[in-house]
Amino acid sequence: MHNVSSVVRSVTVRVPAKVNLQLSVGPLRVDGYHEIVSVFHAVNVYDEVIAADGVPGSGITLNMEGAGSEYLSNSEDNLVWRAATALAQYADVALDVELQVKKKIPLSGGMAGGSADAAAALVACDALWRIGLGREELDVLAARLGADVTFALHGGTAIGTGRGERLTPALISGQYHWVFAVSDEGLSTPAVYAECDRLREGREVQAPTVAEDLMAALRRGDSVAVGKAMRNDLQVASISLRPQLELVLETGLSFGALGGIVSGSGPTCAFLARDEEQALDIAAALSGSGMCSSVLHATGPAHGARVVDSGTSGSILSPR
Q: Does residue 18 have an active-site annotation?
A: yes
Give the integer Cα–Cα distance in Å for 216 and 211: 9
Task: List all residues 6 or more positions away from 169 whose beta carbon is below 8 Å from its beta carbon.
Answer: 154, 156, 157, 158
Question: What distance in Å separates the CA atoms of residue 117 and residue 305, rounded to the nearest whole number?
Answer: 9
Angle of the 244-254 helix axis to the 276-289 helix axis, nearest 10? 140
Active site residue 233: no
In terms of phi and psi (left: phi > 0; alpha: psi -120 to 50; beta: otherwise), the region of 256 is left
The whole-angstrom separation of Cα 181 and Cα 260 is 10
DSSP 69: G
Determine the 3-state secondary structure of 255 from DSSP: coil
Tell me the C-alpha distance between 165 and 275, whole Å. 31
Residue 190 is inside which H or E element, if any? Answer: helix 189-200
* Residue type present at position 251: T
Question: Active site residue: 18, 47, 53, 117, which one?
Answer: 18
Per-residue DSSP letter, 146: -
CB 305, CB 13: distance < 8 Å = yes
Query: Which of 117, 126, 148, 233 is an active site residue?
Result: 148
In which region does residue 266 sit, left (phi positive, over 0), alpha (psi from -120 to 50) or beta (all else)? left
What one-letter code names the amino acid at 270?
A
Q: Describe the crossing of helices 79-91 and 135-145 by its angle, rounded to 10 degrees.
A: 130
Report phi then psi at 199, rounded to 5: -65, -25
Nearest to 82 by CA among 127, 128, 115: 115
Catalytic residues: 18, 148
